[in-house]
Structure 1
């Protein structure tokens, strides 16, 4: 089962001046993405600052997003944890709230050996009926899923996809060759077209927060065999994409959104403001690419 094809936005969580979830702004963002051709909404992930949200906040954001989107496009909830029981509980609650799928990050800090990670994912998958996207992001977790482990995880019925964010296209190519039954989504905005070229279904994108239609068009151009258009869009925006990671995500994307008038609030500590030097670089690229301001 393919959860979505195209551009899934790794949605930021908007906060108000008290650093609480701004649900009215969240509603506006969800409608903005549907209007601008985003193909799936991913909430409570890394870009959504899930690591500093309470369980109550996460579930409230998931429920609100499911209710507002109302089946128009898939809503996928980040429910990963380095505590297996906690991940199971979050995943079951997200399923009850109507999430179409789950994004489950590899356990971090305690890392886990291969048998442990396999049984972690197996236990989560067996606790729910909705599809699961594995999330491989070794730069944050300290663990890179082996090809052999992905191969056996893909045999579990509702583990259907992998968000691949290692930044290693050779590794991703081996996954595509060795585990063709699993859908691949790029977890790196600067490698979307390369990953599509080895059979990827799309991207879970940070830059889609401000470039929703462009990211959608890039993926769809490739899938519709207009490779030249997709390549040109990837290369045209890569300088801006890379600058959105000049500091740790989601600090730059929230800064960009606030500069453009989205008014999504600050990040929660321990994520602080960008340096003035990096802000200047970011602002110049937003101006250069004439990124649309919030309407």
Structure 2
């Protein structure tokens, strides 16, 4: 299916059993909850998916399982975060062969490439596959910024179609829209700027806390796009303390604890990550408990008509 690069796309967590294997049963519970809530795509193997701990075989298993679960209802996107261009191309081609609908691609890992090297890296991946690509632009966490001038070159590749905008500069949504129009779709990648980015014209939201609260996340997006800003804002204000759990080095542990609280996940992580301990665990659990206890009643949102472009 074609990727629309719009709507809410969860960067899903990877579920593990206590003995460290993939927990495909709980993984299916979560994916089905996402689809039922109205997400437009599933993104596999990102930071939240603990990609750096997954084997190539496990990534292929998760991709095939997700495609089986969603049955073509939503797009399935595989993240690429490799250490070499050769490995990135191999992942892209394998993803295409296994039925992925698109790719999200990070800059080179563990090496601070210059602008020329970064552009070349993205170009070579794009030319190796027919799959549509979203570039992940997150200089805060990954140390490399994909500038507008770099995108000017990159969009000459027809399958580079979108950017996950995570610079934390809300004005960048407008800069991208002003310079590229609809040629480059913009999806916000920062949970605490989710609503703000949508109101500034972002096409979608690659979200984290959606893993635990899919309906609330999609409702914010749908209500905002339908021009029902007050309703979206009310939900967003409730959501913000939870969303702040995403902008934290322990975001995986935080969000997995939230998934436990809403019944669609477990807190098991793969080492070197470990479950939260002590005062920090209590702090996070308090935020989650208060959020669940005050969870808002949502209006009907799935069939709203978009009026904001």
TM-score range, shorter chain: over 0.9
Which SS does the other structure have where 1:107 is aligned? coil
Decide whether aligned partners of structure 1 residues 2 and 21 sit closer, same or farther in structure 2, where only a CA change above 3 A counts.
closer
Encode CA deviations 1:169-221: one digit per residue, 9 max, x unaligned: 13333222222220111101110122112221111110101110111111111
Please state how far the C-alpha of 1:54 moved relative to its aligned partner: 0.9
* Distance in 1 separating the partners of 2:258 and 2:286: 11
- Does the aligned pair in 2 maintain the 1:47–1:250 contact within 8 Å? yes
Q: 1:104 to 1:256 in 2, by over 3 A?
A: same
1:248/1:287 CA distance change after superposition, 3 Å:
closer
Matched, 1:214 2:216: yes
Deviations 1:239-285 (A, max 9, x none): 11113444422121112223444442421122222232222222222
Aligned to 2:256: 254
Residue matched to 1:130: 131
Q: Distance in 2 between matches of 1:276 and 1:122?
A: 46
Relative distance call for 1:281 and 1:244 in structure 2 (3 A) is farther
| Residue in 2 that maps onto 1:151 | 152
Name which of 262, 276, 279 aligns with 1:277.
Answer: 279
Q: Distance in 2 between matches of 1:152 and 1:231?
A: 37
Superposed CA RMSD in Å reads 1.8
Q: State the TM-score, normalizing by the size of structure 2.
A: 0.89
User: Secondary structure of 2:206's match?
Assistant: strand
Please name the residue that 1:203 is paired with.
205
**Residue 239 (1) aligns with residue 241 (2):** yes
Pick aligned residue for 2:268 from 266, 269, 294: 266
Q: Give the deviation of 1:8 after TM superposition.
A: 0.7
Q: 2:29 corresponds to which residue?
A: 28
Whole-angstrom CA distance in 2 between matches of 1:210 and 1:194: 21
Q: Which moved more, 1:87-96 or 1:173-182?
A: 173-182
Gaps of 5+ in 2: 296-309
Separation (CA, whole Å) in 1 of partners of 2:218 and 2:56: 31
Give the distance between the partners of 2:136 and 2:248, measured in 1 at CA: 22
2:87 aligned counterpart, secondary structure? helix
TM-score normalised by L of structure 1: 0.93
The alignment status of 1:183 with 2:167, answered yes or no, reads no
CA distance change for structure 1 residues 46 and 243 in 2, over 3 Å: closer, same or farther? closer
Q: Which residue of 2 aligns with 1:224?
A: 226
Q: Name structure 1 gaps, 5 residues minimum.
A: none
- 3-state SS of paired residue (2:240): helix
In 2, distance between residues paired with 1:115 and 1:246? 31
Give secondary structure in 2 for the equivalent of 1:61: helix
CA distance in 1, matches of 2:175, 2:3: 20
SS of alignment partner, residue 222 of structure 2 = helix
Q: Is the 8 A contact 1:66 1:97 kept in 2?
A: no
Distance 1:100 1:205 in 2: 18
Partners of 1:172 and 1:261 in 2: how far apart? 34
The whole-number CA distance in structure 2 between the counterparts of 1:3 and 1:168 is 24
Q: Is the 8 A contact 1:190 1:241 kept in 2?
A: yes
Q: CA deviation at 1:44?
A: 1.0
Q: Which residue of 2 aligns with 1:121?
A: 122
What's the secondary structure of 1:290's corresponding residue?
helix
Instruction: Give the C-alpha shift of residue 225 in structure 1.
Output: 1.4
Q: What's the counterpart of residue 51 of structure 1?
A: 52
Q: Which portions of structure 1, spanning 4 or more consecutive aligned residues, are displaced by more than 3 angstroms?
A: 244-247, 259-263
